Amino acid sequence: MIRLFHVSKFFDQCAALRDVTIRIDKGECVLLTGPSGAGKTTLLKVIFGSEVPDEGQILVQNRNIARLRQGDVPYLRRTIGFVLQNFQLLPQKTVHENVVLPLIIQGVKSREAQKRVKETLGAVGMEHKRAIRAGGLSVGEQQRVCIARAIVNRPMIVLADEPTGNLDGELTMEIVELLKSIHAQGTTMLVATHNQVVVGCMKGRVLHLQAGRLVSDTRGEGE
Ligand SMILES: Nc1ncnc2c1ncn2[C@@H]1O[C@H](COP(=O)(O)OP(=O)(O)O)[C@@H](O)[C@H]1O
Ligand SMILES: [Mg+2]
């Protein structure tokens, strides 16, 4: 499903990723851990195609995306949902408008789009807030909307960057349960987190990064 071969990414002199080789199979739940600056966000971004690696190869469902071509971007956006760090919702737009946006960009017909937004907001427990401006929601609600936006096009892969970063204990557990329910439907998940409670509750494979290197993998070799 996702394979990285000897991937490196440099920013100026600094290596954000160094020689990372990983194989993630369909339906796996993978937790990406490591201290701040270890390269977690960069790893998610190279898989999503929003950063291009300097070295190495990346296969997403057998398509090599390490050298992004024009046709790869729409393909990746259909295949991967990304729950970004720090929300990045449009605060003046309603919950519905935020979640429908990826479908509009992909040219999904209006009636189908309305149906999918309704279903997805139901799945994350936010349907009753559909007409509220995103900027007026609590942090926990905003995170639910971000997750809805990431899964509304039914991606096969969901990437989440510190999805509980701004949340207290109870809200963290609610988001963990939501992510688990998305995984239980067969979605391949890759979740970056420094929260050991999240790691323990998600019960997934754990990849640990340190200074851009993959230093441990609870599944064994990264081949
Ligand atoms: N756009 C960028 N420009 C320059 N340096 C960056 C950029 N993005 C990340 N880095 C650097 O790459 C390293 C890894 O960052 P990041 O992937 O954000 O780590 P993490 O998500 O684990 O905290 C850090 O040293 C960070 O400063
Ligand atoms: Mg990060």
146 alpha carbon – ligand 1 mean position (Å) = 22
> Which ligand 1 atom is nearest residue 162's CA?
21
How many of the other CB atoms lie within 10 Å of CB of 38? 23
Q: Residue 87: what pLDDT?
A: 66
DSSP 8-state symbol, 169: H
Q: Which of 9, 17, 20, 42 to mutate to test the pocket of ligand 1 (most atoms within 8 A of CB)?
A: 42
> What single-letter DSSP state applies at residue 152?
T
Spatial distance between the Cα atoms of 205 and 195, rounded to a whole number of angstroms: 15
The residue to which tokens 């427990």 are assigned: 125
Q: Which amino acid is at 55?
A: E
User: Quick one: tokens of 116?
Assistant: 């999918």
pLDDT along the chain (223 residues), means of 10: 96 95 96 96 95 94 84 86 87 97 92 96 95 94 94 95 90 93 96 94 94 91 45
pLDDT recorded at residue 222: 43
| Residue among 91, 84, 87, 6 at smallest CA distance from 45 | 84
Distance 154 CA to ligand 1 centre (A): 29
Q: Cβ(41) to ligand 1 under 6 A?
A: yes
Q: What is the reported pTM?
A: 0.93
Question: Which ligand 1 atom sits nearest the alpha carbon of residue 34?
Answer: 22
Ligand 1 pocket, 34 CB below 6 A? yes
Q: What architecture is the 26-52+67-206 domain classified under in CATH?
A: 3-Layer(aba) Sandwich (3.40)
